[in-house]
Amino acid sequence: MEPDSESIAVPNGSIEEDRRSPPPPPMPTNPMVTPLLADLYQFTMAYAYWKAGKHLDRAVFDLYFRKNPFGGEYTIFGGLEECIRFVANFKLKEEEISFLRSAMPTCEDGFFDYLRSIDCSDVEVYAIPEGSVVFPKIPLMRIEGPVAVVQLLETPFLCLVNYASLVTTNAARHRLVAGKSKTLLEFGLRRAQGPDGGISASRYCYMGGFDATSNVEAGRLFGIPLRGTHSHAFVSSYMSLDEIIDKALLSHDGSSTCEDFVTLVQNWLNKIQRAKSLHGVFGETNQSELAAFTSYALAFPKNFLALVDTYDVIRSGVPNFCAVALSLNDLGYKAIGIRLDSGDLAYLSTEARKFFQSIEEEFDVFDFGKMNITASNDLNEETIDALNKQGHEVDAFGIGTYLVTCYAQAALGCVFKLVEINNQPRIKLSEDVTKVSIPCKKRCYRLYGKEGYPLVDIMTGENEPAPKIGERILCRHPFTESKRAYVVPQHIEELLKCYWPGNSHKTREELPPIGKIRKRCMQHLDQMRPDHMRRLNPTPYKVSVSAKLYDFIHFLWLSEAPVGELQ
Ligand X SMILES: O=C(O)c1cccnc1
- Binding residues for ligand PRP (CB under 6 A): 187, 190-191, 231, 341, 376-379, 398-402
Partner in contact with 7, chosen from ligand X, Mg ion, ligand ATP, none, beta carbon below 5 to 8 Å by kind = none
Question: Which residue has the CB atom at the shortest distance from ligand X?
Answer: 228
Q: Is 136 or 398 the residue whose CB approaches ligand X more closely?
A: 398
Q: In sequence order, which ranges of 135-212 are alpha helices (DSSP H)?
A: 147-178, 194-207
398 binds, among ligand ATP, ligand X, Mg ion, none (CB under 5 to 8 A by kind): ligand X
How far, CA to CA in Å, does 180 sit from each of 173, 201, 382, 404, 417? 12, 20, 17, 20, 38
In 3D space, the residue among 447, 258, 272 whose CA is nearest the CA of residue 359 turns out to be: 272
Residue 401 contact partner, candidates Mg ion, ligand PRP, ligand ATP, none, CB within 5 to 8 A by sort of partner: ligand PRP
* Residue 500, beta-bridge partner list: 125
Q: Which does 383 bind (CB under 5 to 8 A by kind): ligand ATP, ligand X, ligand PRP, none?
A: ligand ATP
Q: Which is nearer to Mg ion, 155 or 377 (CB)?
A: 377
CA distance 103 to 42: 13
Q: Judged by CB under 6 A, which of 229, 285, 286, 329 binds ligand X?
A: 229
Q: Which residue is nearest to ligand ATP (CB)?
A: 342
SS3 state of residue 391: coil
What residues numbered 372-391 form the site for Mg ion, per CB under 5 A? 377
Give me the helices (H) in 36-124, please: 40-51, 80-88, 94-103, 109-117
Residue 132: which of Mg ion, ligand PRP, ligand X, none does it interact with, CB under 5 to 8 A by kind?
none
Encoded one letter per residue, x for contact with ligand X by CB under 6 A and - for no contact, window 371-410 reads: -----x---------------------x-x----------
Question: Residue 390: which of ligand ATP, Mg ion, ligand PRP, none does it interact with, CB under 5 to 8 A by kind?
Answer: ligand ATP
What is the C-alpha R_g of the chain? 29
Cα 360 from Cα 339, distance rounded (Å): 19
Binding-site member from 169, 214, 295, 383 for ligand ATP (CB under 6 A): 383
Contact status, residue 505 vs residue 16, Cβ threshold 8 Å: no
Minimum distance of Mg ion from residue 386's CB (angstroms): 17
Q: Count Cβ atoms within 10 A of the Cβ of residue 480 and give its class: 0-12 exposed, 13-18 middle, 19 or more buried.
A: exposed
Distance CA 544, CA 447 (A): 11
User: Which residues on adjacent β-strands are paired with residue 249?
Assistant: 258
Binding flags for ligand X, 187-226, as an x/- string (CB under 6 A) = x--------------------------x------------
**Within 10 Å of residue 182's Cβ, how many Cβ atoms?**
17
In angstroms, what is the minimal distance from the CB of 194 to ligand X?
17
CB of 229 to ligand PRP, least distance (A): 8
Residue 305: strand pairing partners? 337
**Between 251 and 377, CB nearer to Mg ion:** 377
* Residues in binding contact with ligand ATP, number by CB under 6 A: 12
Q: How far apart are CA 191 and CA 198, in angstroms?
A: 8
Residues 363 and 395: beta-carbon distance below 8 Å: no
Q: Kindly give, in sequence order, each residue whose CB lies less than 8 Å from that of residue 139, ignoring residues fewer than 6 positions away.
A: 62, 63, 64, 128, 442, 444, 459, 496
Residues 159-188 that bind ligand X (CB under 6 A): 187
Strands (E), 225-353: 249-250, 257-258, 305-307, 337-340
* Binding span for Mg ion by CB under 5 A among 279-287, 313-321, 371-379, 434-442: 371-379
- Rounded-to-integer distance, Cα 13 and Cα 29, Å: 25
| Residues belonging to the chain | 567
CB of 79 to ligand X, least distance (A): 24
Residue 344's binding partner among ligand PRP, ligand ATP, Mg ion, none (Cβ under 5 to 8 angstroms by kind) is ligand ATP
- Binding partner of 346, given ligand ATP, ligand PRP, ligand X, none, CB within 5-8 angstroms per partner class: ligand ATP
Helix or strand run (H / E) with residue 468: none
CB-count burial class (<10 Å; 0-12, 13-18, 19+) for 368 = buried
Task: Using CB under 6 A, count the residues that bind ligand X.
Answer: 8
Which 385-404 positions form the footprint of ligand ATP (CB under 6 A)?
Answer: 386-387, 390
Q: Which is nearer to ligand PRP, 339 or 524 (CB)?
A: 339
Binding mask 332-371 for ligand ATP (x = CB under 6 A): ----------xxxxx-------------------------
Smaller CB separation from ligand ATP, 256 or 390:
390
Which of 21, 303, 357, 377 touches ligand ATP (CB under 6 A)? Answer: 377
CA dist., res. 444 & res. 494, Å (int): 6
Q: Which of residues 309-368 bind ligand X (CB under 6 A)?
A: 339
Smaller CB separation from ligand PRP, 231 or 422? 231
Torsion sign across C-alpha atoms 388, 392, 395, 399: negative
CA neighbor of 416 nearest in space, from 151, 217, 211: 151
- Give the footprint of ligand ATP on this chain (CB under 6 A): 342-346, 377-379, 383, 386-387, 390
- Give the footprint of Mg ion on this chain (CB under 5 A): 377
